[in-house]
């Protein structure tokens, strides 16, 4: 069971680390998209959310070596990223186009499941 738990930490935390680094690597494209969604200070928003994801993901991956408080802070960083992003960037109910609606619905649902997982891991 211990090995499975560690594997889960790596997969769950690694998802956020990878996504955060992608925010840094693709910040110009993502900032342009954020600007098109009327996000204020889109460059800062993209880089800031990238930082939230990387730090949160690292705390999840290394949670076996960190205090419970640090792990909870890491999970909170992930939740702070996910909740506003989910409702602002994946507002599927605003789309008339069926394809765009479905894409955002999938991302909205995935992000809410990730919020649920993060909440379950909080001590």
What is the mean predicted confidence (pLDDT) over 44-57? 98
Share of the chain above pLDDT 90, in %: 98
> What is the average pLDDT across 2-19?
96
Neighbours of 79 (CB within 10 A): 17
CA atoms within 13 A on the CB side of 65: 5
pLDDT above 80 for 123: no
**pLDDT tens readout for residues 51-78:** 999 999 999 999 999 999 999 999 999 9
Distance CA 112, CA 106 (A): 10
Looking at every residue in the chain, the average pLDDT score rounds to 96
Q: Which of 92, 87, 112 is nearest to 102 (CA)?
A: 92
Angstrom distance (rounded) from CA 55 to CA 48: 11
Q: Residue ranges per domain, the chain?
A: 2-121
Question: Residue 1 pLDDT more than 80?
Answer: no
């Amino acid at each position: 069971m211990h090995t499975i738990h560690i594997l889960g930490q790596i997969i769950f935390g690694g998802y956020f680390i990878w996504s955060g680094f992608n925010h840094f690597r693709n910040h110009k494209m993502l900032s342009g998209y954020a600007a098109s969604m009327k996000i204020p200070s889109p460059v800062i928003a993209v880089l800031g959310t990238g930082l939230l994801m990387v730090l949160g993901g690292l705390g999840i991956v290394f949670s076996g070596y960190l205090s419970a408080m640090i792990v909870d802070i890491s999970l909170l960083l992930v939740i702070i990223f996910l909740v506003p992003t989910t409702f602002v960037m994946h507002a599927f109910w605003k789309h008339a186009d069926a394809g765009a609606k479905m894409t955002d619905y999938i991302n909205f649902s995935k992000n809410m499941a990730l919020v649920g997982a993060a909440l379950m891991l909080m001590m």
